[in-house]
Amino acid sequence: NAGVTQTPKFRILKIGQSMTLQCTQDMNHNYMYWYRQDPGMGLKLIYYSVGAGITDKGEVPNGYNVSRSTTEDFPLRLELAAPSQTSVYFCASRSSVETQYFGPGTRLLVL
């Protein structure tokens, strides 16, 4: 059982480049989330989705975009990478409040 998978595990971007962080879950969960974690800080919500075709902004959405064309996939897009987007990105999905399953994370470095 794969759970929540994220690719890539690590990426270095130059300022102004774009990239898509992939997230896939195989648990048929409707709810999916993207968080970022900066050093010494807690996780902050970027975007979330309550089902295919429905997305909404979280606490820190600026500089990011998402789409949810299927139940399984919830990609996060960075259009113009900035050093402030250097962080670890976690995708999660859930069936109920306490069972929010997290992926292993993508470490992004923007130089």
Partner 1 sequence: DQQVKQNSPSLSVQEGRISILNCDYTNSMFDYFLWYKKYPAEGPTFLISISSIKDKNEDGRFTVFLNKSAKHLSLHIVPSQPGDSAVYFCAATTWAGGTSYGKLTFGQGTILTVHP
Number of residues in contact with partner 1, rule: CB under 8 A? 27
Q: How far is Cα 51 from Cα 39, in angstroms, rounded to an integer?
A: 31
Calpha distance 74→66 (Å, rounded):
7
Per CB under 8 A, 44 contacts partner 1: yes
If the CB atoms of residues 17 and 104 are measured against partner 1, the closer one turns out to be 104
Handedness of CA 4, 32, 47, 44 (dihedral sign): negative
Among 61, 63, 75, 104, which residue sits at the site for partner 1 (rule: CB under 8 A)? Answer: 104
Nearest to 5 by CA among 101, 111, 97: 101
Q: Per-residue string for binding with partner 1, 51-90, x by CB under 8 A?
A: -----x-xx------------------------------x
C-alpha span between 68 and 62 (Å, rounded): 18
**Site residues for partner 1 per CB under 8 A:** 4, 31, 33, 35, 40-45, 48, 50, 56, 58-59, 90, 92, 94, 97-105
